[in-house]
Amino acid sequence: MRRYYFLLLLTSLAFGQWVQQKTPLKVPDRPNMGLYRADAHPQQEIAEAIRKAARNNKRVLLVFGGNWCADCHALDYAFHQPRIEPLLTSNFELVHVDIGKYDRNLDLAKKYHVDLEKGVPSLVVLNMRGGLLYSTAQFERARLMTEEEVIQFLSAWSPPAPQAKK
């Protein structure tokens, strides 16, 4: 009988893990309409994020989007989930860049090779000196993505561990 309960427990845990990995990201019922601020100064915020990243051996993650974008809010909601937030905050300095109605900060989108025609949110990864490592629009359908996919992305682009000095 114990063997049966043990097998049932393992099956339940495995199923729970599978469901968690396959569940699409959630668009919050009450999105943060101040997430992408029109009055922000993204060039200054990026410069400050680069300074912090250099001090703390992190990378910079730019998220281009707008408050009207449900997928942008789904991704931000994912960033605050228990499995994702520690990975994000320990490896990245995060900056949200408002694109308005595709009429703001277009110079930054061009500088960081963000193809806004593919949609938002678009993510950019910078090294701790501000050099471009990666630019992608793969999150433009964030509502259909899973936490596991976000974790895989963040893990893939996390900075390498600092090497010990000899």
pLDDT digits 0-9 by tens, 20-47 = 457 889 899 999 999 999 999 999 999 9
pLDDT tens, position by position, 88-146: 999 999 999 999 999 999 999 999 999 999 999 999 999 999 999 999 999 999 999 99
pLDDT tens digits for range 52-81: 999 999 999 999 999 999 999 999 999 999
Tell me the C-alpha distance between 5 and 2, whole Å: 5
- Reply yes or no: is the peptide bond before residue 24 cis, omega within 30 of 0: no
The type of residue at 20 is Q
Structure-block tokens of residue 97: 């860049």
Q: List all residues 6 or more positions away from 85 whose beta carbon is below 8 Å from its beta carbon.
A: 79
For domain 22-157, the CATH architecture is: 3-Layer(aba) Sandwich (3.40)
Please give the order of strands across the beta sheet that includes 59-65: 92-98, 59-65, 122-126, 132-136
The per-residue pLDDT for 4 is 54
Backbone torsions φ then ψ of 132, nearest 5 degrees: -70, 125
| pTM (2 d.p.) | 0.85
pLDDT at 161: 80
**Domain spans of the chain?**
22-157
Q: How many CA atoms lie within 13 A of 3 on its CB side?
A: 0
